[in-house]
Structure 1
């Protein structure tokens, strides 16, 4: 389990909301818990990397556009399965992301306001809608975003989800990164559980400790629900 002291002082991004034009990074206020720095890094890095793919000119034929992007992704990302597994995730922070002729992007972070001493958990969902180039070529690459959760570039395949789906291997402990490609859309769901600092508050329910299999199953179920909610027609 990741503990909060391990992250203290290490996550000091220089204003991610200022880096990506027209991007709204969730939780851009201080002070913030360690998971919020990670969430900000996830969404900002995703937008920067995805947007940068189009700086090198034409690559392939335009992909099939099967999904839409909304400004309030939290309206579609309910995280029902993950909430049933982890507990309350009603604190929602949408990120409007970017709109561009080549790429649309949005995110949603859901978390629970638990006392800092008892630990915390969160999930972030994102959608990248690639409109000019098929994202298949870069899908399984070891990107800056994936390196936050996958240290050796390894992925595990998830059958029956979109055209291609990958999830982080078991060595990643209490963090999970699921990404799904379907047509021009790439969906990402990140889940992290952080242990508390100091003694647990006896008035607070214990931090959830789901098995990896249950965590993957819940993330896959919520990914399916998000894809269904955003599918066109």
Structure 2
């Protein structure tokens, strides 16, 4: 019968001498790659910072696309030939008004016609706004400023095929019309107004007694605004 010491001895004698010597010296662990850790930390920090910067850019509201330029003299760019024919011809134009601001450029022009003293008078006013900092789309559907000031309850109709969004407001009494168009950061507004009663007996220049119907005025306003947008478009 083999005793335990014999077993131990047999096991030791069966092992190679090299193995026994290796047991006598503690094994050295591989060195830790500290420089790889440092590089990984730097790279991770850079990526994280870059991600935050990109995320911040995405969170920051972008300005609207600037597709148009506002001229110094809008009356030269907007003679409103279609509206002039529909309304009986314009007699005078008001001095051009412009404004320049880092947030918005704008220009306006108006044409008047009809008899003297308000007999059968009418006017056409155009306003161009170029929003450069904020997108006008969220406020565009709210209507015009006079609605908010006077609390007018009017309905706007969509006009497809004109800019990104176009709305028209027709007067049931036939005394006016307003067309508003939004395209990128630009807003175009044309407002037509009739007032008084034409008196053809006292003034041969007075407009015809029958005012143009709303469809005729709308078609003329759309034609003139489309031409104005083409004239002011950049590139």
The alignment's TM-score, normalised by the length of structure 1, stands at 0.68
Rg: which structure is higher? Answer: 2
In structure 2, do the counterparts of structure 1 residues 85 and 197 end up closer, same or farther at CA, with 3 Å as the change threshold?
closer
What displacement does 1:193 show? Answer: 1.1
What displacement does 1:159 show? Answer: 0.7
Match of 1:211 among 192, 213, 216: 213
- d(CA) in 2 for partners of 1:131 and 1:156? 27
What displacement does 1:225 show? Answer: 0.9
Q: Higher helix proportion, which one?
A: 2
Which residue of 1 is the match for residue 159 of structure 2? 158
Which residue of 2 is the match for residue 226 of structure 1? 228
Q: Secondary structure at the residue paired with 1:111?
A: strand
Q: Does the Cα contact within 8 Å between 2:106 and 2:128 map onto a contact in 1?
A: yes
- d(CA) in 2 for partners of 1:101 and 1:67? 15
In structure 2, do the counterparts of structure 1 residues 167 and 149 end up closer, same or farther at CA, with 3 Å as the change threshold?
farther
- d(CA) in 2 for partners of 1:74 and 1:214? 23
Which residue of 2 is the match for residue 9 of structure 1? none
Q: Which runs of 5+ in 1 are unaligned?
A: 1-57
In structure 2, do the counterparts of structure 1 residues 184 and 153 end up closer, same or farther at CA, with 3 Å as the change threshold?
same
Q: Does the Cα contact within 8 Å between 2:114 and 2:198 map onto a contact in 1?
A: no
- d(CA) in 2 for partners of 1:159 and 1:123? 22
- d(CA) in 2 for partners of 1:163 and 1:110? 27
Relative contact order, higher structure (CA 8 A, sep 6+):
1
Which residue of 1 is the match for residue 62 of structure 2? 61
- d(CA) in 1 for partners of 2:234 and 2:115? 37
User: Alpha-carbon deviations, 1:101-140, whole Å to 9, x = none?
Assistant: 1100110001126222632011000100000111000001
What displacement does 1:142 show? Answer: 3.6
What displacement does 1:61 show? Answer: 1.4
Q: Which runs of 5+ in 2 are unaligned?
A: 1-58
1:82 counterpart = 2:83: yes
Number of equivalences: 176
In structure 2, do the counterparts of structure 1 residues 106 and 117 end up closer, same or farther at CA, with 3 Å as the change threshold?
closer
